[in-house]
Amino acid sequence: MLNCAVVADLIPQAAEVADVGSGAGLPGLTFAIARPDLRLTLIEPLERRCIWLNEVVDDLELENVTVFRSRAEQAIDHVNADVVTARAVSALGNLARLTMPLVHGHGEVLAIKGRSAAEEVQKASKVLRKLGADRTEVVIAGADILDEPTTVVRISIGRSS
């Protein structure tokens, strides 16, 4: 959970955040707990996982979270995020197709990845450019508090506008 929570440091104040494929709540619920200034939409297609997520939201009395049952590609008309996050959902090329449209031309994707992050960026570079990535970089979060910090691929979209 801490490996997810540290990624919240990369998210601007009061941002609208969509977490794609939240599953049991990672990383989205950790952001909601650590950063009450954020508004979170947890996008998850499986009903039983959405039921679980809603139970946790109720139990923890989180007021900054909406659980949205959908596949990411069908959520485009309903979600307009400043930042889209994801962990363990898909390889970067496909993940970019699922996440980048949700910022509607301006924002960031933060994909929590493992040691192969740089390799994934290289493999997906064509797709990323086609989808409108201005800049893609591998950043490390939590180096000051974790033995094994978290590797994140940050994709910026519409930086100049």
Ligand X SMILES: C[S@@+](CC[C@H](N)C(=O)[O-])C[C@H]1O[C@@H](n2cnc3c(N)ncnc32)[C@H](O)[C@@H]1O
Nearest-angstrom CA–CA distance, 157 and 105: 6
71 binds ligand X (CB under 6 A): yes
Looking only at residues 81 through 100 of this chain, which bind ligand X when binding is defined by CB under 6 A?
Answer: 87-89, 98
43 binds ligand X (CB under 6 A): yes
78 binds ligand X (CB under 6 A): no
| Half-sphere exposure for 135 (CA within 13 Å, toward CB) | 10
Which amino acid, residue 65?
A: V
Q: In the set 8, 20, 65, 141, which binds ligand X (CB under 6 A)? A: 20
Which amino acid, residue 58?
A: D
The secondary structure of residue 124, as a DSSP letter, is T
Q: What's the min distance (Å) between Cβ of 105 and ligand X?
A: 20
- The H-or-E segment that residue 110 falls in is strand 107-113
Q: Which residues lie across from 85 on neighbouring strands?
A: 19, 110
23 binds ligand X (CB under 6 A): yes
Q: What's the min distance (Å) between Cβ of 69 and ligand X?
A: 10
Residues 6 or more apart whose Cβ sits within 8 Å of residue 55: none
Name the residue nearer to ligand X (CB basis): 88 or 140.
88
Q: Which residues bind ligand X (CB under 6 A)?
A: 20-24, 26, 43-46, 49, 71-73, 87-89, 98
